[in-house]
Amino acid sequence: MKPKVAFFDFTSCEGCQLDALNVEAELLDLLAAVDIVNFREVKTEREDNYDIAFIEGSISRESEIPRLKKIRDQAKVLVALGACACIGGVNCLKNFLPMDEALRIVYKDDAKYYDTMPVRPISAVVPVDYYVRGCPINTNEFLKVVRALLLGKKPEISNYPVCVECKMAGNVCAFEKGMFCLGPVIRAGCNAICITSGRYCWGCRGLVDDPNVDSEKEILQKYGLTVDQVMERFKLFNAYQEVAK
């Protein structure tokens, strides 16, 4: 019996769920291994009987909460897909504004037709079994989680920082190239793709379980960022965790 899989999106750009199917060589194998029964982006038929739910997006409206809870009740396994679902992501930048101001900025005169609330990751609303992190997700990691779920084992997702994979890649440290990098506290799994490509880590995969954020902030300041600039760095993807502290 192939497991029935569903994809759902909340507040997000829907890029992660598309990336989940952007697996080229393995797409046919994937479709052979699971039944996709609910996936708005790829098919019109829908079935509300599924085993595994992949959730993209963060929660930013009251109306999203009961919908998410219903999915949780149905799914045997619930997997957060992408930065918005896992850690709140860039959507949480809104949380630094008064909600009515945020509405007005986005919708101008039509603001009165909409409601909103401070943004949160889905784990703030329902229990989450597994996380596929990143903005966007790393498709290899997505497949790794799928394969683990098919086997009935817990996916081995790294709980160490980006530095590990960055050093494995043989990169010169972004700090040594005059950049400011969140790699030392952000969870690996991306193969340090940004640093390998000549940039630095923005933190899209969220913090490791036991991050030494204080030390990272000291280091960013030592290398020349102001306290405000340090906070800006953390806020881009990790505002929810930083504010919740």
Partner 1 sequence: MQKGSVLIVDDEPIVRESIRDWLRDAGYQVATAESGEEALEMIEKQDFSVMVVDIRLPGQTGISVLKEVKAQRPWIKSLIITAYPSAETVSEATKLGAVDYLIKPVVPDELERLVRETLGAMGREPTVTTKLEAQPKPPVVEVVKVKKSFVITRGSLKSLVENLTKEIEVVGVKSRDNKYVYDRIASFDELCLDYDVTVTPPTKYLMPAKETLLKFKVGDKPRVEPVIEDIPRVIIGVHPYDIKAIELLDEAFLATNPDPNYSTRRQNTIIIGVDCLNPSPKSFAPGMGTHLTETGFDLLLTDIGTAYMVTVGSEEGADLLAKYAQVREPIGDEIAKQKAVRDEALAKYELSLDVPRERLPRLLEDSYDDPYWESRSRTCLSCGSCVMVCPTCFCFDVQDEVSLNLKEGERSRIKDGCMLVDFARVATGENFRHDKASRFRHRIYRKGKYILERYGRFGCVGCGRCAIACLAEIASPVEAFNAIAEAARVKEEAKRLVKEVRPETELYAPRFAELVRVGELTPREKVFEFRFKGGKGLGHRPGQFVEVSVMGIGEAPISISSSPTRDGTFQLAIRNVGNVTKALHALGKGAIVGIRGPFGNGFPLETLQGKDVLLIAGGIGLFPLRSLIQYVIDNRGSFGRVILLFGARSPAERLFLDELALWSQSPEIEFHETVDKGDESWKGHVGVITTLIPKIQIDPKKTMAVVVGPPIMYRFVIGELKKKEIPDENIIMSLERRMKCGVGKCGHCQINGVYVCQEGPVFTLAQLRDLREAV
Q: Is 218 an interacting residue with respect to partner 1 (CB under 8 A)?
A: yes
Q: Which two tokens stand for residue 156?
A: 């081995």
- Does 91 bind partner 1 (CB under 8 A)? Our answer is no
The smaller minimum CB distance to partner 1, of residues 33 and 99, is found at 33
Residues 6+ apart with CB under 8 A from 179: 199, 200
Q: Which of 86, 208, 230, 239 binds partner 1 (CB under 8 A)?
A: 208
Among 24, 45, 156, 228, binds partner 1 (CB under 8 A): 156
CB of 102 to partner 1, least distance (A): 34
Contact call for residues 145 and 132 (beta carbons, < 8 A)? yes
Q: How far is CA 185 from CA 135, 160, 242, in A?
A: 16, 8, 13
Number of Cα atoms under 13 Å in the Cβ half of residue 46: 7
d(CA 64, CA 240): 18
Binding test (CB under 8 A) with partner 1, winner from 24, 108, 151, 245:
151
Residue that is written with structure tokens 């609303």 in the block = 125
Q: Quick one: 163 or 190, whose CB is closer to partner 1?
A: 163
* Residue found under tokens 């909103």: 116
What's the min distance (Å) between Cβ of 77 and partner 1? 17
Piece of 70-78, 118-126, 150-158, 224-232 that binds partner 1 (CB under 8 A): 150-158
Interior angle at CA 147, CA 66 and CA 158, nearest 5:
80
- Asked whether 92 and 58 are in contact (CB, 8 A), the reply is yes
Burial of 59 (0-12, 13-18, 19+ CB in 10 A): buried
Does residue 26 bind partner 1 (CB under 8 A)? Answer: yes
Name residues contacting partner 1, limited to 166-185 (CB under 8 A).
167-173, 175-177, 183-185
Q: Specify the stretch interacting with partner 1 by CB under 8 A; choose among 1-9, 68-76, 81-89, 202-210.
A: 202-210
Residues 161, 119 contacting (CB under 8 angstroms): no
Q: What tokens does 81 get?
A: 């897909």
The residue from 57, 82, 136, 161 that contacts partner 1 (CB under 8 A) is: 161
Question: Is 144 one of the binding residues for partner 1 (CB under 8 A)?
Answer: yes
Among 71, 146, 194, 204, binds partner 1 (CB under 8 A): 146
| Selected binder of partner 1 within 32, 42, 97, 227 (CB under 8 A) | 32
The residue with tokens 């817990």 is 154
Residues binding partner 1: number (CB under 8 A): 40
In one-letter notation, the amino acid at residue 231 is M
Q: What is the contact surface with partner 1 in residues (CB under 8 A)?
A: 26, 29-30, 32-33, 143-144, 146-147, 150-151, 156, 159-161, 163-164, 167-173, 175-177, 183-185, 208-212, 214-216, 218-219
